[in-house]
């Protein structure tokens, strides 16, 4: 490898970043040091590995790969091994008949010639890498690069199965163009069925994707795809990084699912877990070569004390090869359109965010507590994706709020496109849990929804999978609790609890959608107020699947009120698709009135008015606006089709006046602003035109 430069390098566009945020100026040297580390890694890859393109295609040479002549080429990195062998069905499980040849830098290779013009390792046969450890023990391992692993019902551990079918699934549809407005449906394939079982890729393809499309979501974020031995880990304890989970079907089933999503114009993101790995050694990465290190830091630094998992050594050359190639494989083999990186906060800091609160003080984001090797890996990952597949999207799950994480690498940033606005769901939970309705603070709500770093894109969400898990509560459960089981029928009188819950559920989602970010996310089922928490089968619940499912059928029952929330969620998304407020500049908030409990703002040529007062309605309520014209209601949570009380006439036209109000040059007078109602009005640039009713 080439010698790294010792001189700190200035990111080409760092000055633009510092001018945008002057508070970052004292940390110029930190940005220079981070960028220098990134640049030197990239330079070494170019000089020593033949370029980033070749380096990140290592999944085509490492592991077990079939050559054009039918032969098999095998390659592993096992620096702590004394010897390496390949055993399996193909050689009668003889542990020594096929030894690997030792190469430089801890690598090992094996070539098995074709047999009668055919592959010597048949498709579907089982394999193991046999490691002779330094203490002489023989360790039977799954290759870190294995593409398919399965578990028989009577076994605890997974088996590595050679996946090389005569005819793989061929993608027929191009990936959608990069979206301006992301409306994300966070999904888990295994629970995507009302039945108490592990659902399949096929079920998701033919039953769930059409539902997602109908709801107006244009992006699916798939959880728990990377193989994980423990189902209840929700996919966050990965054992085989290159294998699509076999519990839902075959790799070809997943490819078909993504292809069908693309045919519907739906972008597909993978929830990628590069922040840590399962401690499993029999069917995971841990102690692959018999040592405590290999892919991970050794000792205390290599273990996450809360997650009970292993932590990658991001400074290691082969770890970079492994992780970057992993991303490349998911993009090029399966056609994923990008990634949501899980656990980024844990990666960014040596303390992993454990026992640490982030106040926003910039000193929290710079200094020795930052793991700059991990940050450099993320910069390399985003640079690679942006360079080789610029249409792909990357999202950071970072609770710390690190500045510039979602700015280009050339500015010294992390290179992500979006970050999750993780403070928003916490705020809604805190408000509902701790405050009476009359004590809700409008200014605090607006502040939380608009408090984001300038020119860094945020994904707003009222709740995600975190709130759906057993031990927590969804917004619907917090609002309606036990009455969801007894009073959601339209044949029952509308109780105050259900009425309040349904109305606030809609309002919280819309104000989050419209004000909270540049993208929107919802976890599957939450759109209609799924009545039960999510709990995977485990010893504590007698391995039950009763709560590891989504009861989509509830929305199809005309006698249940879930249909109202489902319809509102659909029309909210369809309206955004029409007007594109997520891709528009941040909203102008003209009113956050504490005693009236009214919030009003303008975005994408629309006026949003929310009355959060628990019992007070208003007549002749004036709202300030920028653009004069004639307005009409487009979306109203009080409408009958959404379970409302139908107190507004949607044929009413609202004419602006040259009457300044709340620092806006014009205003309109709403003749009635109902308690806990909201009205989304389309504005028209031409005064004598009227937007058609939605």
Which active-site residues does the annotation give? Answer: 342, 397
The tokens for 83 are 């010897």
445 exposure class (CB count in 10 Å sphere: 0-12, 13-18, 19+):
buried
What whole-number distance in Å separates Cα of residue 135 and Cα of residue 489? 67
Per the listing, tokens 């399965």 go with 150
Size (the chain), residues: 694
Given a contact cutoff of 8 angstroms between Cβ atoms, the answer to whether 409 and 380 are in contact is no
Letter string b/e over residues 500-520, b meaning 16 or more CB atoms within 10 A of that residue's CB: ebbbbbbbbbbbbbbbbbbbb
What whole-number distance in Å separates Cα of residue 593 and Cα of residue 418? 31
Given a contact cutoff of 8 angstroms between Cβ atoms, the answer to whether 420 and 426 are in contact is no
The tokens for 252 are 């070809």
What whole-number distance in Å separates Cα of residue 631 and Cα of residue 654? 5
Long-range contacts made by residues 585-588, C-beta under 8 angstroms, separation at least 24? 586/450, 587/450, 587/514, 587/515, 588/626
What whole-number distance in Å separates Cα of residue 409 and Cα of residue 56? 18
β-strands 159-161, 126-132: how paired? Answer: antiparallel
Beta bridge partners of 618: 673
* Residues in contact with 523: Cβ distance below 8 Å, sequence separation at least 6, in sequence order: 186, 461, 463, 464, 465, 467, 468
Beta bridge partners of 591: 600
Letter string b/e over residues 322-352, b meaning 16 or more CB atoms within 10 A of that residue's CB: bbbbbbbbbbebbbbbbbbbbbbbbbbbeeb
Q: Residue 13: in which H helix or E strand, if any?
A: none
């Amino acid at each position: 490898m080439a010698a790294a430069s010792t001189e700190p390098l200035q990111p080409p566009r760092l000055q633009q970043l510092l001018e945008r945020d002057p508070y970052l100026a004292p940390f110029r040297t930190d940005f220079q040091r981070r960028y220098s580390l990134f640049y030197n890694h990239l330079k070494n890859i170019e000089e020593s590995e033949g370029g980033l393109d070749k380096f990140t295609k290592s999944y085509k040479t490492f592991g077990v790969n079939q050559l054009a002549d039918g032969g098999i080429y095998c390659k592993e990195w096992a620096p702590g091994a004394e010897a390496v062998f390949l055993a399996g069905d193909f050689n009668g499980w003889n542990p020594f008949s096929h030894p690997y040849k030792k190469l430089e830098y801890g690598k090992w290779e094996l070539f098995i010639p074709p047999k009668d013009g055919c592959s010597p390792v048949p498709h579907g046969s089982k394999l193991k890498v046999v490691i002779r450890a330094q203490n002489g023990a023989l360790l039977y391992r799954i290759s870190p690069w294995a593409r398919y692993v399965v578990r028989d019902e009577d076994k605890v551990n997974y088996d590595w199965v050679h996946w090389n079918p005569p005819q793989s699934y061929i993608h027929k549809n191009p990936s959608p163009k990069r979206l301006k407005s992301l409306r994300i449906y966070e999904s888990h394939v295994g629970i995507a069925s009302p039945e108490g079982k592990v659902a399949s890729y096929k079920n998701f393809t033919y039953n769930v994707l059409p539902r997602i499309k109908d709801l107006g979501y244009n992006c699916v974020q798939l959880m728990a795809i990377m193989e994980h031995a423990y189902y209840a880990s929700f996919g966050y304890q990965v054992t085989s990084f290159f294998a699509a989970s076999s519990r839902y079907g075959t790799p070809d089933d997943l490819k078909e699912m993504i292809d069908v999503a693309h045919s519907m114009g739906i972008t597909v993101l993978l929830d990628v877990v590069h922040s840590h790995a399962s401690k499993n050694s029999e069917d995971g990465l841990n102690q692959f070569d018999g040592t405590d290190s290999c892919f991970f830091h050794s000792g205390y630094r290599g273990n996450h004390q809360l997650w009970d998992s292993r932590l990658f050594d991001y400074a290691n050359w082969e770890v970079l090869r492994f992780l970057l190639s992993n991303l490349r494989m998911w993009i090029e083999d399966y056609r994923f359109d990008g990634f949501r990186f899980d656990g980024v906060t844990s990666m960014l800091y040596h303390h992993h965010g454990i026992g640490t609160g982030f106040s926003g003080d910039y000193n929290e984001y710079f200094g020795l507590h930052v793991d700059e090797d991990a940050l450099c890996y993320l910069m390399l990952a985003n640079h690679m994706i942006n360079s080789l597949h610029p249409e792909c999207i990357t999202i950071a799950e970072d609770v710390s709020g690190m500045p510039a994480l979602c700015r280009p690498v050339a500015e010294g940033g992390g290179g992500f496109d979006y970050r999750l606005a993780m403070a928003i769901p916490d705020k809604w939970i805190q408000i509902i849990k701790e405050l009476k309705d009359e004590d809700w603070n409008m200014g605090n709500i607006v502040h939380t929804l608009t408090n984001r770093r300038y020119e860094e894109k945020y994904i707003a969400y009222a709740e995600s999978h975190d709130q759906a898990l057993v031990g927590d509560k969804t917004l619907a459960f917090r609002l309606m609790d036990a009455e969801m089981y007894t009073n959601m029928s339209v044949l029952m009188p509308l109780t105050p609890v259900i009425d309040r819950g349904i109305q606030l559920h809609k309002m919280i989602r819309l104000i989050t959608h419209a004000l909270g970010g540049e993208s929107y996310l919802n976890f599957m089922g939450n759109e209609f107020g799924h009545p039960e928490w999510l709990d995977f089968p485990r010893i504590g619940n007698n391995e039950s699947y009763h709560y590891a499912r989504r009861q989509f059928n509830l929305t199809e029952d005309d006698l249940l009120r879930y249909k109202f929330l489902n319809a509102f969620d659909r029309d909210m998304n369809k309206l955004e698709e029409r007007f594109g407020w997520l891709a528009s500049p941040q909203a102008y908030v003209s009113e956050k009135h504490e005693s009236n409990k009214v919030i009003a703002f303008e975005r994408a040529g629309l006026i949003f008015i929310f009355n959060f007062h628990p019992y007070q309605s208003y007549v002749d309520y004036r709202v300030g606006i920028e653009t004069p014209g004639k307005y009409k209601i487009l979306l109203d949570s009080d409408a009958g089709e959404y379970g409302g009380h139908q107190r507004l006439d949607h044929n009413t036209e609202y004419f602006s006046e040259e009457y300044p109000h709340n620092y806006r040059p014009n205003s309109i007078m709403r003749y009635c602003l109902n308690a806990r109602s909201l009205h989304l009005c389309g504005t028209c640039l031409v005064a004598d035109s009227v937007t058609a009713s939605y």
